[in-house]
Amino acid sequence: EVVLTQSPGTLSLSPGERATLSCRASQSVSSYLAWYQQKPGQAPRLLIYDASNRATGIPARFSGSGSGTDFTLTISSLEPEDFAVYYCQQRGNWLTFGGGTKVEMK
């Protein structure tokens, strides 16, 4: 099973700041990685798939990069609605999720 390790566990930032979230895989998953956003009491929302492709309706401030074992989700300038928990998920070897990164308001 591919283990996805997300860091940091919590990111404390202010609106307008840049957020950089990391997801590291225990073995290569090629580019088969997605990012999701989840707000309290809501289902997750697909943001990025295949490492760098934005899903339908996702603002351009969200971008993804990486391949192999190291991946990054970047939010270029945080909006108030971006404070949430973010999960990565791989489909390169079975299906697994990372443990999540909480982006909280400083």
Binding other proteins (rule: CB under 8 A), the pick from 36, 62, 71, 83 is 36
Q: Does 98 bind other proteins (CB under 8 A)?
A: yes
Q: Does 105 bind other proteins (CB under 8 A)?
A: no
- For other proteins, the closer of residues 61 and 91 by Cβ is 91
- For other proteins, the closer of residues 19 and 47 by Cβ is 47
- Cα–Cα distances in angstroms (integers) from residue 61 to residues 19, 26, 53, 64, 90, in the given order: 10, 28, 12, 10, 22
Q: Does 45 bind other proteins (CB under 8 A)?
A: yes
